[in-house]
Amino acid sequence: MPSDGLLEPRDHVSAGRTGAAVTLLAAGAMVGYEVLGAVLGLSRSTPTTLVQATVIGSVLVLAGTLVGSVPDRVPRWVWTAGSVLGVAVVLWLGLVTHDSRAAGQIGFIYPVVFAAANLRAPVAWTVSALAASSDVVLSVVVLPAREAVADAFVMTAALAMVTAALQMVADRQDALTGRLSEIAAIDQLTGLASRRRLEEVAHEVLATPCPAEDLALGTGLAIVDLDHFKALNDTYGHPVGDAALVHVAALLRTSCPSKATVARLGGDELAVLLPCGPPEEVGTVMERFHDAVRTSPMNHLGRVLALSVSVGGTHVPAMQEPDLAVLYARADEALYQAKLQGRGRVVVE
């Protein structure tokens, strides 16, 4: 992973929500403790410490509100810097107030929880190590030696446990999310890209300019329908219809160049997205595919069936900056013309 990628949270929205929750909880705990201390008459809970807690809590609430409302606009380094700053603030407060209470030391848990739940493992463990080191410094400065060793040991173990547990949960969630993304990107019957994946690729392709030396280059889209697909299902059964789709999909994939995105839109409708190609490429590729279907009948469980496809295609120069809806409408109209002309043919608009 590139070094700048290490600073990216696993998911911006989740990081924003967790950051907002952690900062709000930290602010509430900080101010609440000082209020409770004043009520109980604790010697180290004074008006000064209450003001300090209120000011810091207000800053935390503001920061949490910002990252929670616009997580996608937060620079990648802020997530790591915020965690490190959180550790530094807790250490500073402990040293300034000479406070060895659990309330002071437990403050280290907030930035560690955020980092462990949302940041990459190297960063999360770095924040945890900084928190543990800072707690050692605080304990040594404000506590007798024996108590300092005991407190530092307990806190280090707790921070390591929290980091390990949350990282395992985050890794599991990433694995599940990745698997779901794979399932969503692939049509399970044909192995082609899904409609969703085609739309994602089209968005990227249409937003990326083609090489400037050839203004004729553009984006092509072809839509394929398996002719008389309903009749095929009604006559031979859905397993044969599924086999026909798999057969045609394989021919389409092998007929297209590697740069193409070949997808199943739904039912018997397939599509091919051809980025940065000349106008004639759509017709050339689709005629090659049409010939492959015509000359390669399907053999399913000893039954040989000749198949036929209708194809509609279009091409739009890059300078026109079309969107997928425009491309689809034009290719769909060409497909309609192919069917009107008797099916089993290629029409490129």
Q: Summarize pLDDT for 308-319 with one digit per residue, the tens.
A: 999 999 998 876
Say what the pLDDT of residue 3 is.
53
Are 293 and 229 part of one and the same domain?
yes
224 pairs with which residues across the strands? 270, 311
Say what the pLDDT of residue 178 is.
83
Reading the block at residue 94, the tokens are 């402990």
Separation between Cα atoms, residue 124 and residue 206, nearest integer Å: 37
Cβ-based neighbours of 147, under 8 Å, separated by 6 or more: 100, 139
Other C-beta atoms lying within 10 Å of the C-beta of residue 267: 12
Number of domains the chain contains: 2
Task: Give domain status of residue 189, yes or no.
Answer: no
State the CATH number of the domain containing residue 304. 3.30.70.270
Are 168 and 211 part of one and the same domain?
no
Are 74 and 210 part of one and the same domain?
no
Write down the residue that tokens 């002071």 correspond to: 104
Say what the pLDDT of residue 235 is.
92
CB 25 within 8 A of CB 110: yes
> What range defines the domain where residue 135 resides?
3-184
Q: 224, 254, 247, 263: which is closest to 300 by C-alpha?
A: 247
pLDDT in tens, 278-330: 999 999 999 999 999 999 999 888 889 999 999 999 998 876 667 889 899 99
Are 206 and 146 part of one and the same domain?
no
Task: Give domain status of residue 309, yes or no.
Answer: yes
- In the chain, which stretches have pLDDT less than 50? none
Dihedral sign of CA atoms 327, 331, 334, 336 in order: negative
Are 226 and 291 part of one and the same domain?
yes
Say what the pLDDT of residue 311 is.
97
Half-sphere exposure in the Cβ direction for 78 (13 Å, CA): 14
Task: Give domain status of residue 70, yes or no.
Answer: yes
Say what the pLDDT of residue 251 is.
96
Reading the block at residue 17, the tokens are 């929500």
Which of 184, 218, 240 is at the close of a domain? 184
Say what the pLDDT of residue 50 is.
85
Are 266 and 178 part of one and the same domain?
no
Instruction: Give pairs for 295-303: CB < 8 Å, separation 24+.
Output: 296/247, 296/251, 298/243, 298/244, 298/247, 300/240, 300/243, 300/244, 300/247, 303/236, 303/240
Are 240 and 178 part of one and the same domain?
no
Separation between Cα atoms, residue 130 and residue 134, nearest integer Å: 6
